[in-house]
Amino acid sequence: MTINPIHLEKLKKILGSEGWIDDQTDMPSFLREPRDKYQGNTPLILMPDSTEKTAEIVRYCAQNKIPLVPQGGNSGLVGGAIPTGEILLSLKRLKAIRQQDARNLTITVEAGCILSHIQELAQEMNCLFPLSLAAEGSCMIGGNISTNAGGVNVLHYGNMRNLVLGLEVVLPNGETWHGLGGLRKDNTGYDLKQLFIGAEGSLGIITAATLKLSPHPHEKQTAFVAVPDPDAAVNLLSIARNISGDCLTAFEIIPRLGIDMVTDNIPGSRDPMTQTYDWYILLEGTSSLSRDLLDLEAVMERILSTGLDDGLILDGVIAKNITESNNLWQLRENLSEAQKFEGGSIKHDISVPISAIPAFLIEAGMAVETSIPGARPVPFGHLGDGNLHYNISQPKHMARQAFLDQWESLNQSVHDVVDKFNGSFSAEHGIGRMKTDDMLRYKSKVEMAMMTKIKHTLDPHNIMNPGVIVRK
Amino acid sequence: MKILVPVKRVIDYNVKVRVKADNTGVELANVKMSMNPFDEIAVEEALRIKEAGNAEEIIVVSIGPAQAQETLRTALAMGADRAILVKTDDLVEPLAVAKILKAIVAEETPELVILGKQAIDDDCNQTGQMLAALLEWPQGTFASEVKLGEGTVNVTREVDGGLETVKLTLPAVVTADLRLNEPRYASLPNIMKAKRKPLDTKEPSDYGVDTARRLTTLKVEEPAKRASGIIVENIAELVTKLRDEAGVI
Ligand SMILES: Cc1cc2nc3c(=O)[nH]c(=O)nc-3n(C[C@H](O)[C@H](O)[C@H](O)COP(=O)(O)OP(=O)(O)OC[C@H]3O[C@@H](n4cnc5c(N)ncnc54)[C@H](O)[C@@H]3O)c2cc1C
Ligand SMILES: Cc1cc2nc3c(=O)[nH]c(=O)nc-3n(C[C@H](O)[C@H](O)[C@H](O)COP(=O)(O)OP(=O)(O)OC[C@H]3O[C@@H](n4cnc5c(N)ncnc54)[C@H](O)[C@@H]3O)c2cc1C
């Protein structure tokens, strides 16, 4: 695809000299995806600093049928923000804080605000913005919304969809929908914002959002326990929920192989226990009640002692301060990084009903061993949400590339098992350009037809992130 | 022998401390409190000495409010044998703490007292030294290594110029520095066991110590905010700024 240079010049004019990049030497960080699976190319990066300028660009592109790829922090993992010749529209300069309203428990921010910055602002308001994930220092709220991001707090607070009260969106024809506002109840017709949440930029450009805040938690308890197997882990989850009700905010599973990889490869990390076990759970309880009203430590101890008595827990530790809590989380957060030292890794981001996880793990393990004998699954992640990062490290002595060449075929073997358990082949990272084949394979005709019709209705010329989610 | 380890309940190391609006102190309401990190290192060292067969009993003591019990339970969960809470809601200054500890030493007759080198709330760095002086015991402060001998202890100290090793005759006072060891996690079975370990509650008056303050705090203020940095476009601009604005070249 080539775009007429006259158009490029006109688009640059709209933004002025601060607002674009056309020198290829300044582009690499925009065009590389975090796992190096995609190398993009574009003739021009546009960086508007207001909704009006964004709308002006889109209007021009709509009139001239010029395709656009929106991008936030470029931390997405499915190639959705990587252009293949289209113009790249970066939201990074759209970063004003429009409104902070502690009494309404809301904050209104522009799309280019970095997630960790929003978390800090919420904290200054004595509130919490609960979305939290490993990329929070670089991902932007527009990207989080567009991917309906999940992360480590979904168990209690829900994913991005549950945290958005209003949106401002530039539509593919250049019109702006002013849908901001801090309403928790609004049954006036279709809930349009839901259409753009998780749309990965295929239906329009999110320029600002009103986000729902929560009261700030006062107390946190982090524990790391060894469990005999995933079945025990699922039973422990039930116990934890029965005892703690709303307080359980994280429940992450990690296999022994994952702990080995982290302690072997990440300096400063150590196994919290003296013996080794097959499976671990990182669980966390959080409470917004002040300490004198709720003894969260006692709650955590009740969960763990019940687990011990029932044989669901073999051993464990409770963090005695925030440093230890952070270190336990580092074991979890460093899993992907640690896998890089173990050769190639083929990733899956799947979900199945929580109760089906033990059976899924057995069947998926068999499917992997059949496809690539010796391949080493490191299934870890948000067990409490039924979401596993089913990542597979290469067999010890296989050539890295020979293993990675099997990416698609191994994906299919695993996704077939996921499908059998009525699961999802993309639980939180989305479809992007990576999983459009899976869409055709696993989604029903009726479902695909609805999605395609929605896409065509809003974006008849297919200029808004073409090729993402629905192919044409 | 017995080892005595005093532990203090302080604002958790990772909490961003906020000064009270009236400048009388720092905000403690609903703030996470933990064991002073240097005291945790002291507890760990005592445990290692015991595990090596060089001590029979570890007694932990905390001087502070009722909630300091939690700090003691943490030490018991790490492996200490029993605990003494000297309960007071006063802000106790290092000298009064040292006097109470001296009285406890007289009762318990430990041969080694291991303290943290300082508490991270008031940063006094005084208690260990004062205790050694009151007891007229030798002291090895800022320890990065502790080795027991026959009736002696070798303490490697972190000093400005590098490392210094002193040999002390027991009984002695040692204060722990950051690099002495990495404290263990409290294991679940030990947390459960800790609930049944003995914890005595006393008051400063039991030891004949008056905890009235001798120092008056005039005002507590935030440190001055650092001005944010700027990004210069090129070396010429950097040089100009360093010369004309910073006045350093
Ligand atoms: C005493 C009273 C108190 C109420 N309190 C509340 C309240 O506190 N909060 C509140 O939100 N509402 C309240 N409502 C109104 C509320 O909307 C209804 O009570 C309830 O949610 C509607 O359910 P229904 O089965 O009666 O639907 P209906 O009245 O039968 O239908 C409501 C609408 O849904 C459509 N519809 C119904 N079933 C289907 C279906 N299966 N598929 C597609 N469309 C369907 C209908 O065509 C209609 O448009 C109250 C009503 C009353 C009478
Ligand atoms: C280390 C790491 C950890 C991660 N952990 C998690 C996790 O735990 N949970 C999880 O859900 N995800 C996780 N992710 C992936 C996650 O999707 C992204 O981190 C984040 O949500 C995307 O935000 P971004 O600003 O980087 O978006 P980008 O990567 O820039 O874009 C993502 C998609 O959204 C579109 N888009 C971006 N901004 C806009 C906008 N303003 N309007 C319209 N479309 C837009 C892009 O076109 C693209 O399709 C992780 C990624 C990394 C690198």
- Chain B residue numbers with beta carbons less than 8 Å from the beta carbon of A220 are 32
Q: Is A49 in the pocket of ligand 2 (CB under 6 A)?
A: no
Q: Give the one of A218, A315, A318 whose C-beta lies nearest to B186's C-beta.
A: A318
Q: How far is the CA of A246 from the centre of ligand 2 (A)?
A: 28
- The reply to whether domains A97-215 and A219-336 share a CATH topology is no
Q: Edge-to-edge strand order for the sheet containing A279-287?
A: A248-255, A279-287, A219-227, A315-318, B186-187
DSSP letters along A95-149, please?
A: --EEEEETTTTEEEEETT-BHHHHHHHHHHTTEE---B-TTTTT-BHHHHHHTT-
ipTM rounded to 2 decimals: 0.86
- In chain A, % helix, strand, coil (3-state, to 5) comes to 40, 20, 40
Provide, as residue numbers in chain A, all residues whose Cβ is less than 8 Å from the Cβ of B78: 320
pLDDT confidence of residue A461? 95
Q: How many angstroms separate the CA of residue A292 from the nearest CA in chain B? A: 9
DSSP for A8-67 reads HHHHHHHH-GGGEE--GGG-HHHHB-TTS--B-B-S-EE--SSHHHHHHHHHHHHHHT--
- The residue whose CA is least distant from atom 27 of ligand 2 is A143
Adjacent-strand bridge partners of A102: none
CB–CB of B14 and A218 under 8 A? no
Regarding the beta carbon of A201 and ligand 2, being less than 6 Å apart is answered: yes
B77, B190 in Cβ contact below 8 A? yes
Closest-CA distance, A225 to chain B, in angstroms, reads 8
The three-class DSSP label of residue A165 is strand
- pLDDT (tens digit per residue) in A352-389: 999 999 999 999 999 999 999 999 999 999 999 999 99
pTM of the model as a whole: 0.89
- Name the residue among A378, A285, A294 with its Cα closest to residue A325: A285
Whether residue A428 has its Cβ less than 6 Å from ligand 2: yes
Q: How many CB pairs under 8 A join A and B?
A: 65
Which ligand is nearest to the Cα of residue A79, counting in written order? 2
Ligand 2 nearest atom to the CA of residue A76, by list position: 29
Can you read off the two tokens belonging to residue A29?
């960080």
Residue B68: what are its φ and ψ, rounded to 5°?
Answer: -65, -15
Pick from A276-285, A308-317, B235-244: least confident: B235-244
Contact B192, A305 (CB under 8 A): yes
A206 C-beta closer than 6 A to ligand 2: yes
Residue A382 CA to ligand 2 center (angstroms) comes to 18
| For the CA of A80, the nearest atom of ligand 2 | 49
CB contact, 8 Å: A166 with chain B?
no
pLDDT tens figures, B21-62: 999 999 988 889 999 999 999 999 999 999 999 999 999 999
Q: CA A16 to CA A56: how far, in whole Å?
A: 13
Predicted confidence (pLDDT) per residue in A321-354, tens digit: 999 999 999 999 999 899 999 999 999 999 999 9
Collect all residues of chain A within an 8 Å Cβ-Cβ radius of residue B77.
Answer: 320
Q: Which two tokens stand for residue B42?
A: 């002291």
What's the A454 CA to ligand 1 centre distance in angstroms? 27
Ligand 2, residue A204: give the atom nearest the CA: 43
Q: CB B188 to CB A317 under 8 A? A: yes
Q: Where are the domains of chain A?
A: 5-90, 97-215, 219-336, 343-429
Return the minimum-mean-pLDDT range out of A409-423, B12-26, B35-49: B12-26
Arithmetic mean of pLDDT over chain B: 95
Preferred mutation among A120, A123, A304, A320 to probe B, highest tally of B CBs within 10 A = A320
A1, pLDDT greater than 80: no
Task: Return the half-sphere exposure (C-beta side, CA atoms, 13 A cut-off) of residue A366.
Answer: 8
Q: Hey, are the CB atoms on B186 and A320 less than 8 Å from each other? A: yes
Ligand 2 atom having least distance to the Cα of A207: 41
Cα of A332 vs centre of ligand 2, distance in Å, is 20
Assigned CATH for A5-90: 3.30.43.10
Using pLDDT thresholds of 50, 70 and 90, give the confidence band for residue A291.
confident
Asked if A22 and A8 touch (Cβ cutoff 8 Å), the reply is yes
A159-181 residue pLDDT tens: 999 999 999 999 999 999 999 98
CATH 3.30.70.2190 fits A219-336, yes or no: yes
From edge to edge, which strands make up the β-sheet containing A106-110? A97-101, A106-110, A205-212, A164-170, A176-179
Per-chain mean pLDDT for chain A: 95
- Is residue A105 pLDDT above 80, yes or no? yes
pLDDT higher than threshold 80 for residue A260? yes
Please report the pLDDT score of residue A292 as a whole number: 80
> Are the beta carbons of B59 and B5 closer than 8 angstroms?
yes
With a CB cutoff of 8 Å and minimum separation 6, the contacts of B107 are none
Task: Give yes or no for a contact between B64 and B8, defined as CB atoms under 8 angstroms apart.
Answer: yes
Q: How far apart are CA A465 and CA A463, in angstroms?
A: 6
Please say if the pLDDT value at position B156 is more than 90: yes
- The pLDDT confidence band at residue A246, using thresholds 50, 70 and 90, is confident
**pLDDT tens digits for A41-90?**
999 999 999 999 999 999 999 999 999 999 999 999 999 999 999 999 99
B233-247 per-position pLDDT tens digit: 899 999 998 998 888
- Residue with the smallest CA separation from ligand 2 atom 52 is A135
Q: Could B189 and A315 be called an inter-chain contact, meaning their C-beta atoms sit closer than 8 Å?
A: yes
Quick one: which ligand is closest to A186's CA? 1
Q: Which fold has domain A97-215?
A: 3.30.465
Q: Which atom of ligand 2 is nearest to the CA of A140?
A: 25
Q: Class of A343-429 per CATH? A: alpha beta
At residue B193 the predicted structure's pLDDT band, cuts being 50, 70 and 90, is very high
Q: CA A281, CA A245: separation in Å to the nearest integer?
A: 18
A54 CB near ligand 2 (under 6 Å): no
Closest Cα in chain A to B184: A272
